[in-house]
């Protein structure tokens, strides 16, 4: 009996050690994955440092006989920044001190150019747009590497759950975009009606005010890298498609194809808890405002539920939905913000 007891104890100890090792490896890779994602986001912010502050936007407007473009390191870091990511702006409250020190060197050059009029146009800078798309696309590289390390080949970039030839899946992804666009359109109408028929003094704590802050943050981001002049084709369209593809493919590979699947397989929780955990992380990484983080959380639930469907099992569906929504949202935001009057645009910049 003693030998049997010892053998059972050894077996339990061995299994526990193996499980502990697997979980430790998973936790390490997961931490590295999230760190890489955060660093990619910080790199994106560094590309457009202080771009959204009113002074920077004014200082990069055109003036007679000169054309200025956005300089990523022109002004010192001081305000929360926003970057137009997959589902809108991504926010961060502050940067590393080293970044502040580097950008402070440029602060002395801003004094002479802050006299530009707020009505002057903001230039579209293709270099900044290319860098933003490149930074966003790095998520796909992170996802592929994490997929190989975590051994999730069926959900990786080259697995069975990634089938571009499945036209039915592509069509389903397009179809799944309709509810998102419908909801976004509904809230756009609500905001318009509130502005037109609502009270003169707005309650800053109201739900409508919260939605307007999300809209303003998105518009400011679009204004900062697409400019104030309406250029739907080709500038806005190409940039929107580039950012939409980079976000739709990269984030779905990372969050749905790797993270959501890896949590289920390595932690041992069911698919529903994995979906919620992944969506919480997704929302936190898209924290521009509390409401925006919540909307990103809901969007992640929507994208993840598509991938969870056992009758589908194709990552292309959420990718197509995510990409198409982003492209339409960016194009509409550019159209809307370039239709603002000088007074409205000045008020928009003053609110950030």
pLDDT digits (tens, 9 = 90+) for 81-90: 334 444 443 3
Per DSSP, the residues of 126-138 read: HHHHHHHHHHHHH
- State which residues of the chain have pLDDT below 70: 1-120, 153-161, 310-313, 351-352
Alpha carbons 59 and 122: distance in angstroms, whole number: 9
List 91's β-bridge partners, or say none.
82
Q: Domain-by-domain residue ranges, the chain?
A: 36-350
* Residue 205 burial by Cβ neighbours in a 10 Å radius (0-12, 13-18, 19+): exposed
- Specify the pTM: 0.70
From the list 249, 247, 263, 264, the residue with the least C-alpha distance to 317 is 249
pLDDT digits (tens, 9 = 90+) for 153-196: 555 555 656 777 788 889 999 999 999 999 999 999 988 888 88
List 106's β-bridge partners, or say none.
none
From the list 291, 306, 292, 287, the residue with the least C-alpha distance to 248 is 306
pLDDT digits (tens, 9 = 90+) for 50-98: 443 434 443 333 333 333 343 333 333 333 333 444 444 333 333 333 4
Residue that is written with structure tokens 């289920």 in the block = 264
Q: Which two tokens stand for residue 313?
A: 């099992």
């Amino acid at each position: 009996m003693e030998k049997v007891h010892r053998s059972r104890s050894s077996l339990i100890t061995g299994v526990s050690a193996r499980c502990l090792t697997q979980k430790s490896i998973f936790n390490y890779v997961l931490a590295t994955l999230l760190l890489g994602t955060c660093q990619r986001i910080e790199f994106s912010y560094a590309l457009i440092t202080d771009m959204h502050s009113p002074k920077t936007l004014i200082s990069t407007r055109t003036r007679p006989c000169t054309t200025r473009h956005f300089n990523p390191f022109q002004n010192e870091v001081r305000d929360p920044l926003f970057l137009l990511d997959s589902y809108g702006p991504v926010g961060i409250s502050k940067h590393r001190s080293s970044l502040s020190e580097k950008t402070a060197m440029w602060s002395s050059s801003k004094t002479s150019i802050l006299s530009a009029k707020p009505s002057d146009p903001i230039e579209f800078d293709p270099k900044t747009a290319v860098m933003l798309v490149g930074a966003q696309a790095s998520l796909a590289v992170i996802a592929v590497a994490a997929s190989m390390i975590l051994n999730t080949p069926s959900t990786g970039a080259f697995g069975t759950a990634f089938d571009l030839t499945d036209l039915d899946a592509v069509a389903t992804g397009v179809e799944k975009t309709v509810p998102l666009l419908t909801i976004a359109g509904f809230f756009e109408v609500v905001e318009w009606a509130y502005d037109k028929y609502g009270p003169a003094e707005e309650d800053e704590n109201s739900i409508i005010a919260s939605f307007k802050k999300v809209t303003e943050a998105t518009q400011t981001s679009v204004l900062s890298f697409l400019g104030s002049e309406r250029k739907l084709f080709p500038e806005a369209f190409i940039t929107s498609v580039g950012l939409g593809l980079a976000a739709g493919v990269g984030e779905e590979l990372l969050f749905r194809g790797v993270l959501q699947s890896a949590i289920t397989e390595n932690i041992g929780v069911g698919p529903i808890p994995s979906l919620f955990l992944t969506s919480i992380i997704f929302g936190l990484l898209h924290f521009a405002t509390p409401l925006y983080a919540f909307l990103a959380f809901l969007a992640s639930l929507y994208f993840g539920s598509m991938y969870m469907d056992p009758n589908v099992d194709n990552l292309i569906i959420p990718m197509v939905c995510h990409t198409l929504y982003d492209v339409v949202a960016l194009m509409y935001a550019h159209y809307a913000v370039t239709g603002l009057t000088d007074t409205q645009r000045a008020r928009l910049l003053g609110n950030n």
